[in-house]
Amino acid sequence: MNTVAILLSSFVLSITGLFVFIWSLRKRLFEPTSAAANVIFSSGEIGQGEDPSATPAQRAALVHPRRAPLSAAEDAQLQEELAARVEADRSTSLVSFVFLSAAVVWLVAGSLAGLTSSIKLHEPDWAVQQAWLTFGRIRTIHLNIIAYGWAPMAAFGIANWMLPRLLKTPLIGARYAILGCMLWNAGLIAGVGCIAAGISDGMEWLEIPWQVDILIVLGGALMGLPLVYTLQARKVAHLYVSVWYMGAALFWFPILFLIANLPAMHFGVEQATMNWWFGHNVLGLFYTPMALASVYYFLPKIIGRPVQSYNLSLLGFWTLAFFYGQVGGHHLIGGPVPGWLVTLSIVQSVMMIVPVISFSVNQHLTLRGYFQRLVYSPTLRFIVLGGMMYTLSSLQGSIEAIRAVNTVAHFTHFTVAHAHLGLYGFFTMVMFGAVYFVMPRVMSWEWPYPWLIAAHFWLVVIGFSIYFIGLSIGGWLQGLAMLDAARPFMDSVNVTIPYLKSRSVGGAIMTLGHLVFAGHFVAMVLRYGPARTGAALLHTTTAAAAPTTLAGA
């Protein structure tokens, strides 16, 4: 395909997207008023944080002090809607449990593989008796387990739970989702086995052989069916922005994955271009929308307040859709690719500031006056931190795409730190918070040990801080050393050793946090530990003295 055809195709797609946007406004699918932001709340529910497992006294404590009492008719309507919500939650319990259980298993396995590969960067002779434990294989195993195990399983588990609430109807097609989950995980197990045996397609993010990818494609198609069926049976006139984020992600990912894995299709420079088109878009057009959908639902529900500006949420959605598609090309700066392609990628990378600022301002304004609830609510703590990391990672990515910065950062550990800031600091933190919110509803049982939630939070925050800061500094020094023609190449290796060790220390602390999370998850599933009647709030002694500051877990 020549340059003119590519540019013309991009123009046609942009115009098509613009017409879809105009059509959606005319059909009131995006209602640009505050009423649109209220669709996730039942009548009379605004002003109190949601916590179905709390006692009546605790529910009363969650009411905002300025919230007017409900009339008898309003209270009756609220109870009716809450009963329908309980029925919707019940329809998703098995599906969400299967997905989230698989996600936790993959998280632990991926963490151990990642820690092993990290240690090998500064201790290359450690654990080399088995071929699958060599760095080239174990690092690739780590990437694929996290990218296709933990991340999508967590995202699909949370999405299947949110859909009935957002559409106010029970989930339809749950059996397809469970079958799809089984096929997907079977494909991933086979794919990881192939990589461990030395069988790989040889492209980053696309190492699993295409013959095995067929299982993942079939599984993904089945997993997406509940969205279609439940959407058709919806009982709401307006589709909340979270539905659009999830729907877009589930539409974009199959296209990305299928095109990237077509056999005998991509060669040479075009293969490298496609590789980073996929590698970046799977982050920005699948994981990012799924996480943002979660933030836009859980943040307002926890604090009992609609998002401050629904228009900003719409602006963030459409600018993400318009600007992200060609961002991956900035990884090819200096490569044998057309200059216009790289320039287009840099421009779109910088334009990503628009959706990021839209989200960040909206999150801050929504939380204004409610920041104290971060002290008590574990869900809110993870969700808000993840949202902040989205801002930081995206702004860093826009700056990193600029040629002057990319010249130093490219081909260094700095890029690895940036990738983890997005997939871990943003996506994984949001998923942790969502799991803490969802699982008590799935299991009809509260988290038995609130102190383990606090331990998990501080372990992953401290561990990731050490990991990210050390790797960023080491990567920048590595880039400067490689650009200095007067210095031997080994200087660029030696300068990173202390920072690679800090990476392993941080990774070990993060892995410990993941083990705490997994252990607490298992304890909850087995209903081991004290049976509580309230939400898993932190600092409960202080909270008892100031009940009006509490937020639902």
* Chain position carrying tokens 């010249």: 407
Q: Which of 187, 90, 105 is nearest to 154 (CA)?
A: 105
- Indicate the average pLDDT of the chain: 87
* Chain position carrying tokens 């991926």: 110
Question: What tens digit of pLDDT does each residue of 48-57 get?
Answer: 666 433 334 4
Contact 456, 517 (CB under 8 A): yes
pLDDT for the residue numbered 88: 85
pLDDT for the residue numbered 348: 87
Amino acid identity, residue 291?
A
- Report yes or no on whether pTM surpasses 0.85: yes
Tokens of 73: 């008719």
DSSP 67-88: PPPPPHHHHHHHHHHHHHHHHH
Over 80: is that where the pLDDT of 276 sits?
yes
pLDDT for the residue numbered 68: 61
Cα 370 from Cα 271, distance rounded (Å)? 49
Question: What tens digit of pLDDT does each residue of 363-419 get?
Answer: 999 998 888 888 878 889 999 999 999 999 999 999 999 999 999 999 999 999 999
The beta strand positions in 412-453, using DSSP E, are: none
Positive or negative: CA dihedral 203, 112, 106, 387:
negative
CA 195 vs CA 9, 13, 291, 478: distances in Å: 36, 37, 28, 29
Cα 164 from Cα 227, distance rounded (Å)? 9
Cα 72 from Cα 247, distance rounded (Å)? 38
pLDDT for the residue numbered 22: 55
pLDDT for the residue numbered 366: 92
Question: What tens digit of pLDDT does each residue of 208-259 get?
Answer: 999 999 999 999 999 999 999 999 999 888 899 999 999 999 999 999 999 9
Question: What tens digit of pLDDT does each residue of 247-268 get?
Answer: 999 999 999 999 999 998 899 9
Cα 208 from Cα 190, distance rounded (Å)? 9
Contact 141, 192 (CB under 8 A): yes
Over 90: is that where the pLDDT of 201 sits?
yes
Question: What tens digit of pLDDT does each residue of 320-377 get?
Answer: 988 898 898 888 888 898 888 888 888 888 889 989 998 999 999 999 888 888 887 8
Cα 412 from Cα 149, distance rounded (Å)? 26
> Residues 488-513, buried b or exposed e (16+ Cβ, 10 A)?
eeebbeebbeebbbbbbebbbbbbbb
Cα 36 from Cα 29, distance rounded (Å)? 9
Q: Which of 146, 462, 423, 109 is nearest to 291 (CA)?
A: 423
Q: Which of 181, 190, 182 is nearest to 145 (CA)?
A: 190
Tokens of 83: 């009963």
- For the domain bounded by 44-525, which CATH number is listed? 1.20.210.10
Over 70: is that where the pLDDT of 550 sits?
no
pLDDT for the residue numbered 309: 85
Positive or negative: CA dihedral 503, 155, 531, 385:
positive
Q: How confident is the model at residue 63 (pLDDT cuts 50, 70, 90)?
A: low
CA 218 vs CA 156, 188, 193, 214, 333: distances in Å: 15, 12, 19, 6, 35
pLDDT for the residue numbered 552: 36
Cα 153 from Cα 187, distance rounded (Å)? 13
Beta bridge pairs of residue 63: 48
Beta bridge pairs of residue 48: 63
Q: Which of 301, 390, 408 is nearest to 353 (CA)?
A: 390
pLDDT for the residue numbered 379: 86
Question: What tens digit of pLDDT does each residue of 179-198 get?
Answer: 999 999 999 999 999 999 99
Across the range 72-95, mean pLDDT stands at: 79
Least reliable range by pLDDT among 38-47, 274-283, 472-481: 38-47
Cα 357 from Cα 323, distance rounded (Å)? 14
Q: How confident is the model at residue 545 (pLDDT cuts 50, 70, 90)?
A: very low
pLDDT for the residue numbered 541: 43
Question: What tens digit of pLDDT does each residue of 411-449 get?
Answer: 999 999 999 999 999 999 999 999 999 999 999 888 989
Tokens of 274: 């496609």
Q: Which of 270, 327, 294, 280 is nearest to 154 (CA)?
A: 294
Cα 92 from Cα 82, distance rounded (Å)? 16
Cα 222 from Cα 216, distance rounded (Å)? 10
Q: Who wins on pLDDT, 41 or 465? A: 465
Q: How confident is the model at residue 5 (pLDDT cuts 50, 70, 90)?
A: low
Percent of the chain with pLDDT over 90: 62
Over 80: is that where the pLDDT of 117 sits?
yes
Cα 89 from Cα 515, distance rounded (Å)? 28
The beta strand positions in 177-223, using DSSP E, are: none
